[in-house]
Amino acid sequence: MRHIFIINPFAGKKNWLATFQKNLDGVVAAAGIEAEIYAEPGKEAMEQYIRDLARSGEEIRFYACGGDGTIYSVVNASYGCKNVQIAAIPFGSGNDFIRLFGTKEGLQDVRRHINGTPHWIDAIACGDEIAVNQCSMGLDAEVCAKQASFKKIPWMSGEFAYTASLLYCVLRRLNSRFTVQVDDHPPVSAPFLFALGGNSRWYGGGYKGCPLALPDDGWMDCITVQKDFGLLRLLSLIGYYKKGEHLTWPYTTFLRGKKMRITSEKPAAVNVDGECRYVTESVFELREKAICFVVPEGSPYFEQRATGVLSGEMEELERV
């Protein structure tokens, strides 16, 4: 198997790259593998490099070294190639998807990914794009679209930039009227704060949008929050939303499904794992066992997944 480290030199805010590359040779030598490094700037060139290798048919493990945007590029450039495994080493400003598998500091240990366990996880298709984390429309997608501008400010981390963008959009992009349908449930037309399809739990640099989602359970967590309250009430709810305490709100509907269709009266932002564009309709569709993801050695994920506690919480909270 080829081990290829895809490095995004622009990920994060700290100068991590020199230290990482300095230590990498020793780590891979100790593991008894040969490693290749791709660290050229430019998203399109990187994705083409991954695409060409993935379609060669050779067994390859790509290590996405960066943030959620690097994972997005590796996933989308290699999607559909069963010969590809994907590991994620977090050096970005948000690192939301990988949070489910351990701490940022622990997951920066390359050895844990080399010795990790390949595990098939689900994904969400939105048109030609593939998400392993979450897709959304509404306020949070507008925030994501604006967040890129705030992240250019040197002292803003991913979480701080998301919060700043959230406050900006609360004041300027709060009115979204959607029609939302999950599977065969009746469509609902209303003013929505957001409509979210989740395969994992966090986004926006630490906001727990889908607090019960699991990326390997064969379901998409479909969460909508209708805008039945004013600005002051919304501002008071942001902290609870960040902690994932919004599923029991009276304005929230939580379903588990395979397909979520959202139509908008006017162009609105859609967020696909941090990549945003403006549309009037989006369809989020679950793709079961779509990505071979490497769960790092020592991750608590499998142990926590086996407890069964989450399934009990799901039954209590689900609404149809």
Q: Would you list the domain boundaries of the chain?
A: 2-126, 134-285
State the pTM of this model: 0.89
pLDDT in tens, 83-136: 999 999 999 877 999 999 999 889 999 999 999 999 999 999 999 999 999 999
Under DSSP, is residue 57 helix (H, G, I), strand (E, B) or coil?
Answer: coil
Q: Is the confidence at residue 259, as pLDDT, over 90?
A: yes
Q: What percent of the chain has pLDDT over 70?
A: 91
What's the chain's Rg over C-alpha atoms?
19
Residue range 210-227: average pLDDT? 95
Is residue 67 scored above 80 in pLDDT? yes
Given a contact cutoff of 8 angstroms between Cβ atoms, the answer to whether 77 and 54 are in contact is: yes
Categorize the per-residue pLDDT at 174 as very low, low, confident or very high, splitting at 50, 70 and 90.
low
Fold of the CATH domain 2-126: Rossmann fold (3.40.50)
pLDDT at 318 over 50: no
Nearest CA to 67 among 140, 119, 9, 117? 9
Per-chain mean pLDDT for the chain: 89
In the predicted structure, residue 154 carries a pLDDT above the cut 70 = no
Q: pLDDT value at position 281?
A: 97
What is the rounded distance in angstroms from the CA atom of residue 194 to the CA atom of residue 252? 10
Beta strand 35-38 with 2-7: parallel, antiparallel or unpaired? Answer: parallel
Q: What is the pLDDT of residue 159?
A: 67
Q: Is 85 exposed, middle or buried (0-12, 13-18, 19+ CB in 10 A)?
A: buried
Model pLDDT, residue 312 = 34
The contacts of residue 83 (CB under 8 Å, 6+ apart) are 54, 57, 58, 59, 60
Q: Which fold has domain 134-285?
A: Tumour Suppressor Smad4 (2.60.200)
